[in-house]
């Protein structure tokens, strides 16, 4: 029935008086709206509230979207509006709007956090792509500047080391001369004293600290006779009380109250049978309702006018005026709760404690500077982007960015944008001296990695507090304790009287009225004479105005000292000491770089004004990174904005005026800062919307949008200080759990914002200069990459060089050059002959030839497989009946006696690969045992994410750095004794490969190592990629590892061995260019049974070898381009591929033929061993060679 009544009301109002509050001509334009048209709740501006705005509403969210607005909640229908505001205060909602329509906090609705730039990005997002590619160029240019600066002496090694290791303000020399003795002595003393302090009188210590806080607080009260801004405020109050029309505020509420009562009456009438009398009564009630509605609508303009009047009176100053009085009452109330200390019971024990502390204090003094050094170092390393850069603007994250450069220089995009269709090895070779520096410094960086953890920084911070307390400790404090204790007891005895509860009731009522902006005239009669006398008596009662808490505080701090804090400090000191020993050796690095430099390095170092270009490009890209990061934080910024009122409410609860003022200063003007952030976000989105580099033909064109970074609006905010403020509030013991959760979320956001420089206008000159710098770099790179810089130093077996003896030096040189040219000619000719002999003719011929190779390969090992091997056990790997593990090359893992399905594959030059199956549920721990036992640093995974979903491979690693649901909390996965976390996750090689740096912790052995995990994202099962660009670039990344390189797909035989074949077969062909492709394949499969599953994989591996040979010897790429087209036809012929896999009869015949060939090979005495040793297969001897031609032989 109520719904019927409300529907009737709605029809009458919208029909006869079809206007809403917002439609009224006098409705204030600055009112706040919430919700879409038709379901809108209008928040009237509140001129009587404090300086806080209403919480930001979430658009369109309502608890009851189909219900009409409850207008009665907008106004309080009585003349006690101001005095009743205490029931709906600014602490809940700084609006007169209804508590029934509280806007939902954005914290409960904001989107999930997103990871940082270059970390799991959306490939379709053009702004991310633009960021990654400009960052790539920034790395290259800064790398050149740093390398050339070190080698020509313009950059001092210590200055560079400090920046790359993120020492911040800590000089390298101070670390190089660091002596741990003083801190070691202190930590030993702290361990000893912690257990020796008497704990029987902790309650006395707590009471003494309360006295000290009371005394300190009393000093901040100020002059009660000269209240700040008292005259101005009282004048405003008098004007308000005399001239303000209070009815203008209460009339709308009264009308709404009458409307509500009328609605209730109408509802009652509809509950009964509608007689003619009741119908008449209902009609009259509805008419009354219409009249009340008209009355309400007419009162709204007066209400708005009244609000404007109140806004102009600055009544909010009342809080400042009454603050000294409020402080005084608070201290008087606290003072009455103090207890007698009974000094005689505890003096001796406390004095003994203080004497022990005095000894530690002298030890602490000696370590202050050393401790400040390591604490500052830890803070600097925890926020690398905040450290000032002089030489490494393009490397804001230090060494990790140089490591990224090692990947960047192989990115195919460099060739595309510069128009260079050739190997990028010149860049890799040119940067070798810098990469070696990175290797040296990387070890130091690893040693220091632990000191920048949040746990260690907190421990160092706690220890700094203890050091400060100890440094304030005076040697005569133990002797004064008896006098101080007796004085406190005497004070309690002489001035321990209690005031009656109503003594200050009038004053408290006045304070309450000021806060509610009511009963203003009462404050005009305020007299402070009584307060002055009370204050004087109170302060004099203390008896000793200079009481300090040095001794008591030191005792408590030391007693409560966490043993883990001491351990963390000791560990940090040990790490810094180890680094200190190594820093002196770094002085030799520039000379070593010059001695080892090749022609490519010298050519690369010739980039003109590289440091100046690096600063321009580095700063521009850094600002782009900051803008991108802020954009990713947009949902968190919304949540941060919403906690403003909650934070300010908690700040007002801090009892100590000094502490409250400190936190207020740290928190800043939250509304102004949030408005600035929203403006910055809006301009960043505008920048992104205009970003278009699709037609860029050069680096200069590509970088043009950087000029528009200057259009992004500035934000002046100090996230670090704001975070400190929230940390203080979160620690309050009485804080509401929900408020605490919201503040903790906001603190995470502020911590993420800490490194961001959001004052874009200060870098306008760099933004404008960036395109010219990029253009100059483009021209330089084109010239550099157009020339072959790599040097061929190869000694071919079977070729002997004559020794030139005698003759003049010129003659010797000429003969040597001639011999070199002859040698190169022969090598190139043999390489070309291998390519010509193995060319593809067409798809059909290529398929037939390579199917024969697969069948022959299988035949060579069928007899051995037939013997059957029981290790690894069937449950420990998949495809047990089809894919056996060659026991001769099986990888043994001590922790896995049941075996693991993995084989060693050694290349001709002794590069070691481990080919293995993808981990399954039962083998995840086994896999990590294999990684750690063999000290592998690199894993190549050829399975896609889709294969993980269908259980072809388990998720044996964290896919991301963060758990989206847990809001940026580090993700870790556990397998047996191993805990795996991701330090970084980055898309590389044009987004085709995901590079993860994984931290692998063995919980039982207490060891930690880092492994780089490369996931090739789109290599189809039983097939191949369309070309070799990504695969060869990935091989370049991993092939130089001195540790075993682990490679796996699902079964670990097809894609795995095709990828390994890019290196294995390439080295075999270099060693013997006259060998057939069958020999090479048989030799490789002998290491890993079943290797290369499909003929197209054999073709693809062959063409990969072609391309590498062409690049090495500068041969024409035309044969490769032509054969790749045939390979793609082969790949796309689905029916033929299916028939190939199903044709068991043909395969069996081929196996029988291969067995016969194998027996013949055995009779000749030829031997085959694994892994590319010098006793390699001679299966291709003249009497037993299986000849399978793939094209016309020369």
Locate 909 and state its tokens.
Answer: 């030059």
Locate 70 and state its tokens.
Answer: 């409850």
- Lowest mean pLDDT segment, chosen from 525-529, 582-586, 602-606, 688-692: 525-529
Interior angle at CA 752, CA 143 and CA 453, nearest 5: 75
Give the whole-angstrom CA distance, residue 164 versus residue 673.
32
Select the more confidently predicted residue: 209 or 550: 209
How many CB atoms sit inside 10 A of residue 1008's CB? 13
* CA-wise closest residue to 911 among 1070, 1038, 1069: 1038
Give the whole-angstrom CA distance, residue 969 versus residue 962.
6
* Residue 265, pLDDT score: 73
* Residue 465, pLDDT score: 77
* Residue 684, pLDDT score: 94
pLDDT at 152 exceeding the cut of 80 = yes
* Residue 1154, pLDDT score: 56
User: Given pLDDT bands bounded at 50, 70 and 90, which one contains residue 338?
Assistant: low
pLDDT at 705 exceeding the cut of 90 = yes
Strands 912-916, 902-906: parallel, antiparallel or unpaired by DSSP?
Answer: antiparallel
- Lowest mean pLDDT segment, chosen from 551-555, 683-687, 826-830: 551-555
Ramachandran angles phi, psi of 903, nearest 5°? -130, 150
* Residue 301, pLDDT score: 77
Mean pLDDT value of segment 263-288? 66
Mean pLDDT value of segment 210-233? 68
Mean pLDDT value of segment 149-169? 92
Mean pLDDT value of segment 1121-1149? 82
Structural element, H or E, at residue 229 = none
Query: Which range is most confident: 108-122, 959-973, 1117-1131?
Result: 1117-1131
pLDDT at 823 exceeding the cut of 50 = yes
Percentage of the chain lying above the pLDDT 90 cut: 35
| Cβ atoms of 574 and 517 closer than 8 Å | no
Query: Which range is most confident: 67-71, 538-542, 1008-1012, 1171-1175?
Result: 1008-1012
pLDDT tens across 467-505, in order?
A: 777 776 666 555 556 666 666 666 666 665 555 656 666
* CA-wise closest residue to 1163 among 1146, 1144, 1178, 1141: 1178
User: Given pLDDT bands bounded at 50, 70 and 90, which one contains residue 1057?
Assistant: very high
* CA-wise closest residue to 1070 among 795, 814, 707: 795
* Residue 781, pLDDT score: 94
pLDDT at 629 exceeding the cut of 60 = yes
Mean pLDDT value of segment 1159-1181? 38
Give the whole-angstrom CA distance, residue 317 versus residue 1127.
82
Give the whole-angstrom CA distance, residue 585 versus residue 158.
11
Locate 1106 and state its tokens.
Answer: 């072609």
* Residue 814, pLDDT score: 61
| Cβ atoms of 136 and 394 closer than 8 Å | no
- Lowest mean pLDDT segment, chosen from 64-73, 915-924, 1096-1105, 1152-1161: 64-73
User: Given pLDDT bands bounded at 50, 70 and 90, which one contains residue 664?
Assistant: very high
Give the whole-angstrom CA distance, residue 851 versus residue 1093.
10
pLDDT at 827 exceeding the cut of 90 = no
* Residue 313, pLDDT score: 66
Sign of the dihedral defined by the CA atoms of residues 945, 949, 950, 952, in that order: positive
User: Given pLDDT bands bounded at 50, 70 and 90, which one contains residue 350?
Assistant: low
* Residue 327, pLDDT score: 72
Task: Tell me the pLDDT of the chain averaged across its residues.
Answer: 74
pLDDT tens across 707-757, in order?
A: 999 999 999 999 999 999 999 999 888 899 999 999 999 999 998 998 899
The full set of domain ranges for the chain reads 31-103, 230-316, 613-648+655-697+714-725+734-791, 838-1163
Locate 138 and state its tokens.
Answer: 């920034």
* Residue 900, pLDDT score: 92
Mean pLDDT value of segment 374-394? 87
Name 914's bridge partners.
904, 1046
Q: Which residues contact 874 (CB under 8 A, 6 or more apart)?
A: 880
Ramachandran angles phi, psi of 1090, nearest 5°? 90, -5
Fold of 838-1163: 3.90.190
pLDDT at 13 exceeding the cut of 80 = no
pLDDT at 1113 exceeding the cut of 60 = yes
pLDDT at 112 exceeding the cut of 70 = no
Select the more confidently predicted residue: 74 or 719: 719
Locate 812 and state its tokens.
Answer: 């010797």
Structural element, H or E, at residue 1030 = helix 1029-1038
Residue 476, SS3 per DSSP: coil
* CA-wise closest residue to 377 among 141, 577, 209: 577
pLDDT at 6 exceeding the cut of 60 = no
* Residue 576, pLDDT score: 87
Interior angle at CA 104, CA 99 and CA 107, nearest 5: 140
pLDDT at 530 exceeding the cut of 90 = no
* Residue 1183, pLDDT score: 25
Mean pLDDT value of segment 508-532? 47
Select the more confidently predicted residue: 488 or 324: 324
Percentage of the chain lying above the pLDDT 70 cut: 62
Residue 252, SS3 per DSSP: helix
Residue 1045, SS3 per DSSP: strand
pLDDT tens across 837-849, in order?
A: 999 989 999 999 9
Locate 966 and state its tokens.
Answer: 């847990």
* Residue 765, pLDDT score: 93
Select the more confidently predicted residue: 49 or 719: 719
Select the more confidently predicted residue: 808 or 756: 756
User: Given pLDDT bands bounded at 50, 70 and 90, which one contains residue 139?
Assistant: very high
């Amino acid at each position: 029935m109520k719904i019927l009544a409300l529907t009737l009301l709605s029809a009458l109002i919208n029909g006869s008086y079809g206007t809403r509050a917002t439609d009224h001509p006098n409705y204030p334009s600055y009112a706040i709206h919430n919700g879409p048209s038709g379901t809108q709740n209008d928040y009237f501006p509140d001129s009587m509230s404090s300086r806080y705005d209403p919480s930001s509403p979430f658009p369109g969210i309502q608890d009851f979207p189909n219900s009409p607005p409850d207008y009665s909640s907008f106004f309080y229908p009585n003349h006690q509006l101001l005095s009743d505001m205490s029931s709906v205060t600014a602490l809940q909602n700084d609006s007169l709007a209804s508590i029934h329509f509280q806007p939902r906090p954005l914290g409960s609705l904001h989107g999930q956090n997103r990871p940082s730039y270059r970390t799991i990005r959306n490939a379709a997002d053009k702004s991310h792509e633009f960021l990654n590619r400009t960052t790539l160029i920034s790395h290259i240019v800064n790398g050149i500047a740093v390398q050339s600066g070190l080698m020509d002496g313009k950059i001092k090694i210590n200055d560079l080391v400090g920046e790359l290791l993120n020492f911040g303000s800590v000089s390298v020399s101070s670390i190089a001369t660091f002596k741990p003795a003083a801190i070691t002595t202190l930590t030993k003393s702290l361990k000893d004293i912690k257990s020796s302090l008497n704990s029987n009188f902790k309650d006395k210590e707590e009471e003494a600290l309360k006295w000290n806080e009371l005394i300190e607080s009393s000093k901040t009260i100020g002059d009660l006779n000269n209240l700040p801004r008292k005259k101005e405020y009282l004048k405003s109050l008098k004007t308000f009380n005399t001239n303000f029309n209070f009815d203008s505020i209460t009339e709308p509420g009264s009308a709404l109250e009458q409307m509500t009562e009328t609605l209730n009456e109408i509802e009652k009438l509809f509950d009964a049978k509608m007689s003619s009398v009741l119908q008449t009564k209902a009609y009259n009630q509805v008419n009354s309702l219409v009249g009340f509605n008209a009355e309400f609508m007419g009162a709204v303009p007066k209400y708005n006018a009244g609000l404007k009047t109140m806004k102009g009176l600055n009544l909010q100053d009342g809080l400042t005026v009454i603050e000294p009085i409020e402080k005084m009452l608070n201290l008087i109330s606290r003072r009455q709760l103090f207890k007698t200390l009974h000094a005689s019971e505890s003096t001796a024990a406390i004095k003994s404690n203080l004497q022990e502390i005095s000894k530690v204090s002298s030890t602490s003094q000696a370590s202050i500077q050393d401790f400040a050094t390591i604490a500052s170092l830890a803070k600097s390393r925890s926020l690398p982007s905040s450290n000032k850069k002089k030489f490494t603007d393009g490397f804001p994250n230090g060494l990790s960015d140089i490591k990224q450069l090692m990947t960047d220089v192989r990115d195919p995009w460099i060739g595309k944008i510069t128009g260079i269709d050739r190997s990028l090895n010149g860049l890799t070779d040119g940067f070798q001296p810098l990469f070696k520096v990175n290797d040296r410094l990387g070890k130091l960086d690893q040693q220091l990695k632990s000191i920048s953890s949040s746990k260690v920084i907190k421990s160092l911070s706690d220890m700094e507090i203890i050091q400060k307390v100890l440094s304030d400790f005076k040697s005569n404090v133990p002797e004064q304790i008896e006098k101080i204790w007796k004085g406190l007891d005497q004070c309690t005895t002489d001035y321990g009287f209690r005031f009656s509860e109503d003594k200050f009731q009038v004053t408290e009522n006045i304070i309450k009225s000021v806060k509610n902006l009511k009963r203003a005239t009462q404050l005009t009669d305020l007299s402070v004479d009584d307060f002055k006398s009370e204050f004087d008596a109170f302060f004099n009662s203390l008896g000793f105005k200079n009481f300090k808490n040095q001794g008591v505080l030191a005792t408590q701090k030391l007693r409560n000292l966490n043993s883990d804090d001491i351990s963390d400090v000791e560990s940090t000191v040990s790490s810094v000491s180890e680094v200190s020993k190594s820093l002196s050796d770094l002085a030799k690095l520039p000379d070593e770089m010059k001695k080892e430099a090749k022609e490519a390095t010298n050519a690369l170092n010739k980039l003109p004004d590289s440091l100046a270009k690096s600063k321009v490009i580095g700063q521009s890209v850094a600002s782009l990174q900051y803008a991108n990061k802020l954009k990713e934080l947009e949902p968190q910024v919304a949540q941060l904005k919403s906690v403003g009122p909650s934070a300010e409410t908690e700040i007002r609860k801090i009892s100590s005026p000094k502490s409250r003022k400190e936190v207020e200063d740290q928190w800043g003007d939250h509304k102004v800062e949030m408005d600035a952030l929203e403006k910055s976000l809006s301009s960043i989105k505008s920048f992104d919307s205009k970003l278009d580099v699709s037609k860029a033909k050069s680096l200069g064109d590509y970088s043009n949008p950087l000029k528009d970074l200057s259009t992004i609006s500035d934000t002046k905010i100090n996230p670090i200080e704001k975070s400190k403020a929230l940390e203080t509030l979160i620690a309050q013991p009485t804080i509401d759990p929900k408020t605490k959760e919201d503040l903790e979320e906001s603190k995470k956001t502020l911590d993420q914002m800490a490194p961001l420089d959001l004052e874009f206008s200060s870098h306008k000159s760099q933004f404008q200069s960036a395109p010219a710098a990029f253009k100059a770099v483009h021209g330089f790179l084109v010239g550099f990459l157009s020339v072959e810089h790599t040097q061929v130093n190869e000694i071919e077996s079977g070729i002997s060089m004559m020794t030139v003896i005698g003759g003049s030096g010129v003659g010797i040189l000429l003969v040597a050059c001639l011999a070199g040219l002859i040698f190169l000619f022969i090598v190139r000719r043999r390489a070309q002959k291998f390519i010509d002999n193995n060319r593809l003719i067409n798809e059909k011929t290529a398929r037939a030839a390579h199917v024969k190779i697969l069948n022959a390969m299988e035949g060579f090992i069928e007899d051995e497989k037939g013997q059957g091997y029981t290790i690894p056990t069937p449950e420990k790997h998949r495809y047990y009946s089809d894919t056996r593990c060659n026991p001769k090359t099986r990888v043994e893992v001590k922790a896995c006696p049941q075996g693991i399905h993995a084989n060693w594959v050694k290349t001709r030059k002794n590069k070691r690969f481990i080919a293995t199956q993808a981990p399954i549920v039962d083998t995840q721990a086994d896999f990590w045992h294999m990684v750690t036992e063999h000290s592998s640093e690199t894993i190549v995974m050829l399975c896609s994410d889709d294969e993980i979903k269908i259980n072809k491979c388990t998720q044996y690693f964290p896919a991301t750095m963060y758990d989206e649901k847990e809001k940026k909390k580090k993700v870790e996965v556990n397998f047996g004794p191993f805990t795996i976390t991701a330090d970084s996750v980055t898309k590389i090689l044009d987004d085709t490969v995901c590079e993860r740096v994984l931290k692998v912790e063995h919980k039982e052995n207490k060891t930690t190592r880092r492994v780089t995990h490369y996931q090739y994202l789109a290599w189809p099962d039983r097939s191949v990629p369309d070309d070799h660009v990504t695969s060869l670039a990935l091989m370049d990344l991993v092939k130089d590892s001195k540790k075993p390189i682990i490679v796996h797909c699902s079964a670990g035989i097809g894609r795995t061995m095709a990828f390994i074949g890019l290196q294995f077969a390439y080295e075999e062909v270099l060693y013997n260019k006259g060998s057939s492709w069958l020999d090479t394949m048989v030799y490789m499969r002998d290491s890993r049974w079943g290797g290369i599953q499909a003929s197209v994989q054999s073709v693809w591996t062959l063409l990969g070898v072609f391309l590498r040979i062409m690049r090495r010897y500068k041969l024409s790429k035309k044969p490769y381009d032509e054969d790749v087209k045939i390979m793609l036809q082969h790949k796309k012929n689905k029916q033929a591929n299916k028939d190939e896999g199903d044709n068991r009869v043909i395969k069996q015949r081929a196996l029988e033929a291969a067995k016969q060939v194998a027996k013949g090979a055995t009779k000749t005495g030829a031997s085959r061993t694994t892994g590319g040793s010098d006793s390699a297969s001679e299966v291709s001897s003249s009497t037993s060679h299986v000849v399978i031609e793939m094209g016309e032989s020369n």
